[in-house]
Structure 1
Amino acid sequence: SRALLYALIRSRCFRATDGRDKVYALLGLVEAYARDLEELRPCYAADHSVEKTYINVAVRILRDSDDLLILSCVEGRRFQRTSLPSWVPDWGCELQTGLRVTGYERYSASGRLPMSRPRLNIPRLTLTVYGVQIDEIVMVGEVTGAVLHGEPFPRWLDIFDAMQDNYPGPGSGEDKLDAFWRTLIANTFKSTGEMIPSTTTLVPALYEWLEMSVPDDKETAERKDWADRVSRTLVALSGQFGGVDYGHQMSHARHLRLFLTREGFIGRGTECLETGDIVCIVPGSRVPLVLRSITAEEASLHGLSEDNAYSLVGGTYLHGFMAGEAFDPSLMGGLIKGTRCEMEGFVLV
């Protein structure tokens, strides 16, 4: 199942006239695995829709996997057919979504906590996963792609201004500037398979990128105000210059947006996330997951209470939580800021 999932991830931006072929065209690569699996057998009957194909492959991968990597392939309703359950990736989406790190093996948000097997309810098309709620998103920034195309990013600077001087992440002790630049590039270089060492600093590179973001056209009052604000931010930062192309490091993942949580944790996740969404760590997923509460009406359609029913928005980078820092591996629950946290079930619809 891992080989099939990796093939689906790597071929996501390819085109297919029939959406079902986004799955069927790859089965030859995993012939030994897929040969005897009825739900993966190619079927082009009128009653076997693209949605049914994607649901079948998601269910098969979940049943055969010892992790929840497939859930991090979800990027929210903007990149998904509305008729699909929120936990089923839409392989027909040809955009380069996510953190752009296949497999996320450099991350381990839940540390060594064992995964509780997810519970599938096929008639209701729900999936129950077990994890810990970390915090609620209270501020969101502009989409990275728009910023890289020259659009102003005042909400990024609002987030930076709202951050605590000493980052509150577990065991962090770093200042907010370090947390900020690391989050913007998910604390990783695209060319490496590891997170950036704590001894490395890209503050000069961030400074240089910000300097280039000052608009040349200052004719309107709005553009002048924006230029003045970026300039004030530059004054607050180091005046050194570096050799790393910071904008290039950000450009690998364009469909993401910056966010800040109520407790002051900064992250970068799918552009579909909104204020009010919650960030959870779910053992089995190498990256935290963003969930959104659903309405009582939506919950009732699935025979559920709204208290624990959610839609999956996607995976995310949450600074200070990507290497299991929040948890004591000797506990089934864990420790976040010194408080024992119990696992709870989240029903995804």
Structure 2
Amino acid sequence: MARYQYTRLLTGTEEIRVLKLLPGSFHDAIRMELSLVRLVVPELHPVQRMSLKEIRSTLPSTWQAVETVEGDYIFYNSEDDHTYWRHPDAAVDSSRYARPPEAPGPGFQPQYEALSYSWDLTESPEDAYVEPADAASSKNDNTIPITQNLASALRHLRYPYKPRNLWVDAVCINQHDEIERNEQVKRMANIYRLAERVVVWLGPQSENSELAIRTLDYLGAQSEFCKGQILTRSPSAIEVHWFDSTCDLPYNLTTSLATQNLLSRPWFSRLWVWQEVQLANSLTRMQCGHKSISWSRLRRAVVCLWMKGGWPAQFHEALANLEPLTQPLQTISFGRLLYSMTTQKCSDPRDRIYGLLGLTSSALASRIEPQYSLPVTTVYKEAFLIYLDHFHRLDLLRYCSLENMLAGSASWIPNWSAPAGKRLGYSSVSSGASRASARYLAPNVLEVDGVHCATVSVVTEPPAWKVEDALRDFQAWALDSLYQTTPYITGESREDAFVLALGGNLVKERCPAYSFALPTQKLKDLVFENISNRANNCHIDPASVRALKHAIGIVWGGRFLTTREGYIGLGPMAAQPGDYVCVLLGSNDQMLLRPHPAGSFQVVGSVYVHGLSDATALLGPIPAPWTVHVDDDDAGEYRHRFFNSITGQHHSLSEDPRLEPLPPEWEHVPRDRTAEDPPVFETFRNKMTGEEMNSDPRMLPDALRKRGVPLQTFQLV
């Protein structure tokens, strides 16, 4: 029988193919029709509803409100310790705070369900039969080869007596036509967003998979997952304490293993499927065999299990891999999105960019054209340069690693195909709200402006992976760092500087909202007491091991280093003496650069050197009574604010006490983050020209040079 010959989709139109799955019994051959339809994105009509801030302003003092990741408001009454879907004041019309309507909307055409599944190219394909879509066509059936996993999905989804309209990428896109593939990849986001619903195929039923579905469905019904990493009790919860991270769940070994096995299925490890489920509406179902669970409930169940912790290693690993999927990924930065996906699998490394375009800024995504004929290095380089030009930031440099550099590439181009290394400067904000000053010189040179802050003099071996053994390494590092009696270069004690360097300064004084952050004194006691216990061959109790992993977990993934100027910190695995510690304009992280005799530099990786955070290399130390506080904004990105300990008030980066007042032609525009913003930003408007910029005009290169900042140009190769 002949292979099906695709009718080419018209380039530049909204055409897609829809698969009509014809009825049949379970073991019948798979038969379908393919038709061409236009997928026109409907016009969006803004819905006027109260913001969360407005809702909170209407509540009595004993009430609070939060917003779920699906967009519903939940009201909490501290007096009766209950949550509610309705506002406590019946006079507030519920339509003013109802969830906005979801796509595609009533009456939208074409109507279809989009299938999300994992490709399995290792097994022998099965032929599916394509029947002519109209009587005037040839009566001869043609075949399309499909994978065994897709065949299993279609058999489970097929109705016995009526057809079912589906969109399935392997069939609805001609995989052998590169031009069509490039075009259709750009439409993937709209295809899943405008589907009547998305059906996720996890695979056929297996032993205890039904138990896992029932367990997760019931657990997910007890809580609601809200923006800002908040898990709260569902207003309809039966098990009213299960949402609490300290509440143990009544699961035996059989239930835990069944749940672990379900969450370890291949679908969860694929890259493309994350975009597909994140863009779907609330009708999305996750199907295993003939049983299913809503995506919303599975998401809440995974968050609940992850927050409780204490699971066996394999179960913990499965939950750790899924935790990023539970987040509202459409609101996080492009770099963090790419970083989160480095463990996900895809058959084509170009899809590490193309497979996530639907989740990132629409303006940025529109500038990246899928072209599968381009070399991988070119795809990654162009994505970097487009991001730089769009946001005027060098944020993506933090994901570079000299040891994982792509062959034939430049060190400033991240290798998104390599396993993600550990970032060392989470809370750094080293260049403040500055704008990148960078120029691309073809074919592979990037000129960037910044400050050379220090030069590495000593680099240790990485710490042992086992905490008990790593304590001996910490002891050796401490002896090298604490032998001097003078204060650290910042004025702090050397003991404080040492433990803050070990933990990347993620302590309670800087990060008061983070539950894992310890006060500096408590962290110091924890580290030095256990170093002493290890030196005296005393037993290290499991509670101390867990506490150290939480408090200074960042150290496992780096190497301790010292600079000629007296700084200490953590560097990447490839760090070596002679490397430059630099703060580059528009880069949140401090970067380690390696000088070459010709005057160029290679990017070694991100680095955390204690005392160079908060734009001190550009603006000097922060005066008392000001400090910096770090927490998460509603989009899940790190937020840096100045805190005045006298007034108890927080202030944005635009109110940096070290900066002079804004020039009269500029004004600050306060607003919340959107997907169109880089991780660190402030919005300023020129009152004369109307120009807006996402960085501080007082930190442009010319303004910094007038302040005496010794900016220099680094040629990155």
TM-score by length of 1: 0.74
**Structure 1 position 9, deviation (Å):** 1.8
Give distance in 2, aligned partners of 1:193 and 1:147.
Answer: 29
Tell me which amino acid in the other structure corresponds to 2:393: D
Which residue does 2:404 correspond to in 1?
A: 79
Do the aligned residues in 1 keep the contact of 2:428 with 2:608 (CA within 8 Å)? no
Number of the residue aligned with 1:321:
612
Displacement, 1:75? 2.2
Query: Are 1:205 and 2:526 an aligned pair?
Result: yes
Give the Cα separation in 2 of the matches to 1:204 and 1:66. 42
Paired-residue identity, %: 23
Question: Aligned-pair distance for 1:83?
Answer: 1.8
In structure 2, relative to structure 1, the CA distance for the partners of 1:242 and 1:251 (3 Å cut) is: closer
> Which of residues 65, 74, 90 is equivalent to 2:391?
65
| Contact kept in structure 2, 1:140 and 1:259, CA below 8 Å | yes
Q: Does 1:249 align with 2:551?
A: yes
Instruction: In structure 2, give the amino acid aligned to 1:150.
Output: D
Residues 90-137 of structure 1: per-residue CA shift (max 9 Å, x gap): 1111234222x7xx4x3222345x43521111x231111111111110
CA distance in 2, matches of 1:97, 1:10: 11
- 8 A Cα contact 1:156 1:258, kept in partner: no
Residue 589 of structure 2: SS of its match in structure 1?
coil
Measure, in 2, the Cα distance between the counterparts of 1:288 and 1:6: 17
Alpha-carbon separation, structure 2, partners of 1:53 and 1:63: 15
Tell me how far 1:291 sits from its aligned partner. Answer: 0.5
How is 1:1-349 mapped onto 2 (pairs within 5 angstroms)?
A: 3-30=333-360, 32-34=362-364, 36-37=366-367, 40-45=368-373, 48-76=374-402, 78-99=403-424, 104=426, 106-111=427-432, 114-121=434-441, 123-144=442-463, 146=465, 148=467, 150=469, 154=473, 157-158=476-477, 160-163=479-482, 164-169=484-489, 172-188=490-506, 200-211=521-532, 214=534, 230-231=535-536, 245-252=547-554, 254-295=556-597, 306-307=598-599, 309-326=600-617, 327-328=619-620, 329-330=658-659, 332-333=704-705, 341-349=709-717
Q: Which blocks of at least 5 consecutive residues in structure 1 are unaligned?
A: 215-229, 235-240, 296-305
Distance 1:285 1:157, change over 3 A: same
AA aligned to 2:369 is R
The 1-side partners of 2:706 and 2:574 are apart by 29
Partner Cα separation in structure 1 for residue 449 and residue 357 of structure 2: 31
Deviation at 1:189, TM superposition (A): 5.5
CA distance in 1, matches of 2:410, 2:376: 13
Letter in 1 for 2:612: F
Shift of 1:174: 1.4
Provide the rounded CA distance (Å) in 2 between the counterparts of 1:189 and 1:148: 20
What code does the residue aligned with 2:439 have?
R
Q: Is the 8 A contact 2:496 2:520 kept in 1?
A: no
Kept in 1: contact 2:448–2:584 (CA 8 A)? yes
User: How far apart are the structure 2 equivalents of 1:174 and 1:319?
Assistant: 11
Distance verdict in 2 for CA 1:109–1:151, change over 3 Å = closer
Preserved contact between residue 450 and residue 713 of structure 2 (Cα < 8 Å): yes
SS of equivalent residue, structure 2 residue 452: strand
Distance 1:152 1:168, change over 3 A: closer
Structure 2 Cα separation of the partners of residues 116 and 34 of structure 1: 17
Compute the displacement of 1:153 (Å). Answer: 5.3
User: Structure 2 CA distance, aligned partners of 1:183 and 1:51?
Assistant: 34
Shift of 1:197: 8.6
Letter in 1 for 2:457: V
Count of residues in correspondence between the two structures = 298
Larger Rg: 2
Secondary structure in 1 matching 2:460: strand
1:204–1:242 CA contact under 8 A, matched in 2: no
Find the aligned partners of 2:391 and 2:430 in 1 and give their Cα distance: 18
Which residue does 2:218 correspond to in 1?
A: none
**Quick one: structure 1 residues 178 and 253, their matched pair in 2 at CA, closer, same or farther if it must change by over 3 Å?**
closer
Following superposition, the deviation at residue 199 of structure 1 comes to 5.8
**1:207-247 alpha-carbon deviations (Å, 9 max, x no partner):** 244256x3xxxxxxxxxxxxxxx449x9xxxxxx9897123
3-state secondary structure, aligned to 1:127: strand
Structure-2 change in CA distance of 1:277 and 1:334 (3 Å): farther
Rounded Cα–Cα distance in structure 2 between residues aligned with 1:280 and 1:115: 16
Please give the alpha-carbon distance, in whole angstroms, between the structure 2 residues aligned to 1:265 and 1:334: 27
Structure-2 separation of matches of 1:344 and 1:35: 32
- Judged with a 3 Å threshold, the aligned counterparts in structure 2 of structure 1 residues 143 and 274 are, in CA distance, closer, same or farther, namely same
Q: Residue deviations 1:59-86, cap 9 Å, x none?
A: 111111132211111122x122232211
**Cα deviation digits, residues 153-204 of structure 1 (max 9, x gap):** 55872564245333443xx221111111111110116997779698644111
1:187 & 1:80 partners in 2: Cα distance? 28
Secondary structure of the 1:202 match is helix
**Counterpart for residue 218 of structure 1:** none
One-letter amino acid matched to 2:349: G
Whether the 8 Å CA contact 1:148–1:251 is kept in 2: the answer is: no
Cα deviation for residue 36 of structure 1 reads 3.4
Matched residue of 1:143: which SS? Answer: coil
More displaced 10-residue stretch of structure 1: 202-211 or 51-60: 202-211
TM-fit CA distance, 1:251:
2.9
State the distance in 2 between where 1:186 and 1:247 align: 13
Indicate how the Cα distance of structure 1 residues 136 and 66 shifts in structure 2: closer, same or farther if over 3 A, else same.
same
Higher relative contact order (CA 8 A, sep 6+): 1
